[in-house]
């Protein structure tokens, strides 16, 4: 569908009728931006209750549709600001589609609109996994098998200890973060040994590294910065995360979830 800019209001009129929108070949879709600014919880809760009583039978308890259309994806909801479009439909019904008119107060319309906008916002925010993600969902593996992997095939115990660096690790991060850190921890200093043509060796922590230049913080009392042309020196790097990268390739789904169950048990 294409319309000239000054026809936008014309479209808005059309959008009040889903039927009209469909004749234009546009499919019903959800709200790009919640038209409401932050909905306070009270109207949303009241709206949810009202929706459950009056609308859920046809539109589904969560407004994703049943006999009637999905309202989370509704263009009309996307264009509605504060219930002015939603209210019109509720009060007039859609007799052609079997939706009865329902007498409602302004406050009730406003609450139902708040609920529908909150539902659309949830869909918009579905591309995030919150830090409050429940640990129960992640705990599908066996801690016992995870422990065996940690001590055996995984090779984890070569660098880590449940009573040493990992003591109480599950209390340090929310579960979803713990899972990510278990697989790949935050970056660690990479150690470099730079051998000069003279034979002199300089050790330090890498601060820059590319094909052409390596720069380090020298591991001595001074801690001064030095940079070298890669072509002039020999370079040896020790990256403590190299084993983690190798493990990413080897881990099966079962290994990963067993290991998480074990790491999560290290309270």
Partner 1 sequence: MNSPFARLEKFCLALFIVAAGLCASHASAQGLDPAALLKPATDTWPTYNGDYSGRRFSTLDQINAGNVSLLSLAWVFRTPTHTLKSTPLEVNGILYFSSPDNVWAVDARYGHQIWHYHRASEGDHIGNRGLAMYEDSLFFTTPDAHLICLNAKDGTMRWDVALADDKLGYFATMAPLVVKDHVIAGVSGDVTDIPGFLVSIDPKTGAVQWRWYTQPKPGEPGSETWPKDTDAILHGGGMTWMTGTYDPELNLLYWGTGNPNPVLAGEGRPGDNLYTCTIVALNPDTGKLVWYFQPSPHDVHDWDAVQTPVLFGAEFKGKPRKLLGQASRNGFYFLLDRTNGEHLVTAAFIDQTWSSGIDAKGRPIAKPEATPSPDGALVEPGSDGSTNWMAPSFDPQTNLFYVNARRLFSIYYNTVETKAEGWGGRDRNLWANSTVRALDYRTGKVIWNHELGDGESIAGILTTAGHLLFTADNSGNLLALDPATGNTLWHLNIGARLVASPMTYQLDGRQYLLMPVQDTLYAFALPEKAASSAKNPH
Rounded to whole angstroms, the Cα distance separating 63 from 203 reads 63
Rounded to whole angstroms, the Cα distance separating 33 from 207 reads 42
Nearest distance from residue 261's CB to partner 1, in Å?
Answer: 10
Residue with smaller CB distance to partner 1, 110 or 264: 264
Rounded to whole angstroms, the Cα distance separating 160 from 13 reads 65
Rounded to whole angstroms, the Cα distance separating 256 from 267 reads 19
Residue with smaller CB distance to partner 1, 169 or 176: 176
141, burial (CB in 10 Å: exposed 0-12, middle 13-18, buried 19+)? buried
| Residue partners of 56: CB distance under 8 A and separation at least 6 | 63, 66
Nearest distance from residue 123's CB to partner 1, in Å?
Answer: 4
As a residue count, the chain comes to 267
Nearest distance from residue 98's CB to partner 1, in Å?
Answer: 18
Residue with smaller CB distance to partner 1, 71 or 166: 71
Nearest to 30 by CA among 1, 55, 65: 65
Residue with smaller CB distance to partner 1, 46 or 79: 79
Provide the binding-site residues for partner 1, judged by CB under 8 A.
1-5, 8, 11, 15, 25-33, 35, 60, 62, 64-65, 69-70, 72-73, 75, 78-79, 122-129, 133, 137-141, 176, 179-180, 183-184, 208-212, 241, 244-245, 248-249, 251-253, 256-257
Per the CB < 8 A criterion, the answer to whether 194 and 235 are in contact is yes
Rounded to whole angstroms, the Cα distance separating 172 from 263 reads 12
Residue with smaller CB distance to partner 1, 129 or 197: 129
Residue with smaller CB distance to partner 1, 2 or 105: 2
Nearest distance from residue 221's CB to partner 1, in Å?
Answer: 29
Residue with smaller CB distance to partner 1, 4 or 197: 4
Nearest distance from residue 133's CB to partner 1, in Å?
Answer: 7
Exposed e or buried b per residue across 36-65, where buried means at least 16 C-beta atoms within 10 angstroms of its C-beta:
beebeeebbebbbebbeeebbebbbebbeb
DSSP class of residue 215? E
Tokens of 216: 């380090």
Nearest distance from residue 64's CB to partner 1, in Å?
Answer: 4
Nearest distance from residue 40's CB to partner 1, in Å?
Answer: 23
């Amino acid at each position: 569908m294409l319309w000239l800019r000054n026809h936008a209001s014309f479209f808005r009129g059309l959008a009040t009728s889903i039927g009209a929108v469909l004749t234009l070949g546009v499919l019903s879709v959800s709200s790009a931006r919640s038209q409401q600014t932050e909905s306070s919880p009270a109207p949303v809760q009241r709206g949810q209750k009202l929706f459950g009583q009056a609308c859920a039978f046809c539109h589904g308890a969560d407004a994703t549709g049943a006999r009637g259309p999905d309202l989370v994806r509704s263009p009309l909801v996307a264009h509605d600001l504060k219930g002015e479009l939603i209210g019109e439909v509720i009060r007039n019904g859609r007799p052609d589609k079997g939706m009865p008119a329902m007498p409602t107060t302004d406050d009730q319309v406003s609450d139902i609109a708040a609920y529908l906008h909150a539902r659309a916002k949830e869909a918009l925010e579905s591309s995030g996994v919150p830090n409050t993600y429940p640990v129960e969902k992640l705990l599908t593996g066996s801690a016992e098998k995870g422990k065996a992997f940690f001590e055996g095939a995984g090779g984890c115990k070569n660098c880590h200890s449940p009573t040493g660096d990992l003591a109480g690790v599950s209390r340090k991060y929310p579960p979803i973060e713990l899972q990510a850190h278990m697989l790949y921890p935050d970056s660690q200093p990479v150690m470099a040994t730079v051998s000069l043509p003279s034979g002199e060796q300089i050790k330090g922590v890498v601060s820059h590294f590319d094909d052409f230049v390596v720069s380090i913080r020298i591991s001595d009392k001074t801690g001064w910065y030095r940079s070298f042309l890669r072509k002039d020196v020999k370079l040896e790097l020790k990256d403590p995360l190299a084993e983690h990268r190798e493990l990413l390739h080897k881990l099966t789904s079962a290994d990963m979830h067993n290991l998480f169950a074990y790491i999560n048990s290290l309270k």
